[in-house]
Amino acid sequence: MIAQAVGMTKAGLYHHISGKQDLLYQILNHAMDELDRIVTAPPVRLIEDPEERLRQLMRLQIQGEISHGLAFVVLFSEINHLAPAQQKEIRGRIKEHHALIRETLRELAEGERLRNLDVNIATMHIMNAMTGVARWKYQDFASDEENLVHETVAYTMAALLKPEP
Amino acid sequence: MIAQAVGMTKAGLYHHISGKQDLLYQILNHAMDELDRIVTAPPVRLIEDPEERLRQLMRLQIQGEISHGLAFVVLFSEINHLAPAQQKEIRGRIKEHHALIRETLRELAEGERLRNLDVNIATMHIMNAMTGVARWKYQDFASDEENLVHETVAYTMAALLKPEP
């Protein structure tokens, strides 16, 4: 009935959907490969100070999205369109990325530098801010890449860290 | 050639795409109607204190996304799929919503309550945080709606406002 409604044969619709799913799956896997390579590889992961680690992670991810091939992260929000097994795999990879951010926030909390906040929700806000930026790259205010990176890191750090005494 | 690749006739593909565009256009217009009705109608717009106005706007929009029919705002990121004239109209409506937030930030700046930040970029981060939340509604930590609203408003306010002296 859906096939009829969109003017396709049933076989054509299956072919169409599974072709689109495979393409999206490959793109999202590629985006995760690049995220691992550019952002979460050892140089960042091994930065000792958690605040500096988070700042550097954000800088690299945002710069990557604007000009170094990480723009595909905007497609993370399409993940529901994948087949279940594909969803599971990509969600697992995204969770690893979240875990790095969450652990960094926990370290900040242990050092009494984090505000009194929900670490899981804050992690989602940080990720959401970074993937959001990838969608703004064609807007006027995003033309100054350095400023956009600076403002986004400063905004996030102000949300997270206790004010300096 | 695209029609062939996805297993459709050319006529079927045109029909498919324009049908999807019209549907998305109607959904996005509906989402904007609801946003106007629930969030940006006079009760919020007329709150005198800019900080309280912004807090109330965020609360209503997030609650709306979680449980009162504003979930369609997640589709704002699909706007590129609309026909050009449809895009222009929806973008115009979204811009009005941005303008309300931006004006509120300007009032906070005039009262010397805003951090030294880029008001355009901060407006996008606020909108992005609110539409992000609509995507998390099926995650564990989002099951406590009141907590999610509270945490998101507190996170955003900490990012925006100068610390209390």
> In angstroms, rounded to a whole number, what is the distance separating the alpha carbons of residues A12 and B13?
11
| DSSP code for A7 | T
Q: Are A115 and B158 in contact (CB under 8 A)?
A: yes
pLDDT mean across residues, chain B: 86
If one compares B40 and A68, the residue with the highest pLDDT of the two is B40
**Secondary element (H or E) of residue A39:** none
User: What pLDDT, on a 0 to 100 scale, did the predictor assign at position B161?
Assistant: 98
Q: Has residue B114 got a pLDDT over 70?
A: yes
DSSP secondary structure letters along B94-138: HHHHHHHHHHHHHHHHHTT-B-S--HHHHHHHHHHHHHHHHHSTT
If one compares B48 and A31, the residue with the highest pLDDT of the two is B48
Instruction: Please name the residues between 110 and 139 in chain A that touch chain B, using a CB distance below 8 Å.
Output: 115, 117-118, 120-122, 124-125, 128-129, 132, 135-136, 139
pTM greater than the 0.90 cutoff:
no
Q: Are B66 and B152 in contact (CB under 8 A)?
A: no
- How many CB atoms lie under 10 A from the CB of residue B104? 25
Q: Are A38 and A68 in contact (CB under 8 A)?
A: yes
Q: Are B127 and B101 in contact (CB under 8 A)?
A: yes
- How many CB atoms lie under 10 A from the CB of residue A98? 14
> In angstroms, rounded to a whole number, what is the distance separating the alpha carbons of residues A38 and A30?
12
Q: Has residue B111 got a pLDDT over 90?
A: yes
User: What pLDDT, on a 0 to 100 scale, did the predictor assign at position A31?
Assistant: 86
> In angstroms, rounded to a whole number, what is the distance separating the alpha carbons of residues B75 and B71?
8
Taking one residue from A and the other from B, the number of pairs with CB-CB distance under 8 angstroms is 104
User: What pLDDT, on a 0 to 100 scale, did the predictor assign at position B4?
Assistant: 56
Ordered by where they begin, the domains of chain A are: 2-160 (1.10.357.10)
CA terminus-to-terminus distance, chain A: 65
Q: Is B163 on the interface with A (CB under 8 A)?
A: yes
Q: What is the pLDDT of residues A13-46, one digit of tens each?
A: 666 667 788 888 988 888 888 888 888 877 888 9
If one compares A17 and B148, the residue with the highest pLDDT of the two is B148
pLDDT band at A68 (very low <50, low <70, confident <90, very high): low
Question: For residue B34, which of B87, B1, B72 has the smallest C-alpha distance?
Answer: B72
If one compares A38 and B12, the residue with the highest pLDDT of the two is A38
Task: Give start and end residues of each alpha helix (H) in chain B.
Answer: 2-5, 10-35, 42-45, 50-67, 84-110, 119-135, 145-160
| Average pLDDT value for residue range B83-93 | 93
Contact A122 B154 (CB under 8 A): no
Which positions in chain B touch A135 (Cβ < 8 Å)? 77
Which positions in chain A touch B160 (Cβ < 8 Å)? 158
If one compares B6 and A77, the residue with the highest pLDDT of the two is A77
What angle is formed at CA B92 by the lines to CA B137 and CA A61, rounded to 5 degrees? 50
Q: Has residue B57 got a pLDDT over 60?
A: yes
| Average pLDDT value for residue range B107-120 | 97
User: What pLDDT, on a 0 to 100 scale, did the predictor assign at position B80?
Assistant: 83
Q: How far is CA B145 from the centre of its chain?
A: 18
Joined together, the tokens standing for residue A102 give 């969450």
Q: Has residue A4 got a pLDDT over 70?
A: no
If one compares B19 and A108, the residue with the highest pLDDT of the two is A108
Q: What is the pLDDT of residues A113-152, one digit of tens each?
A: 999 999 999 999 999 999 888 888 667 777 788 999 999 9
> In angstroms, rounded to a whole number, what is the distance separating the alpha carbons of residues A137 and A120?
27
Instruction: Count how many Cα atoms sit within 13 Å of the Cα of residue B124 in the half-sphere of its side chain.
Output: 22
Burial class (CB in 10 A: 0-12, 13-18, 19+), B48: exposed
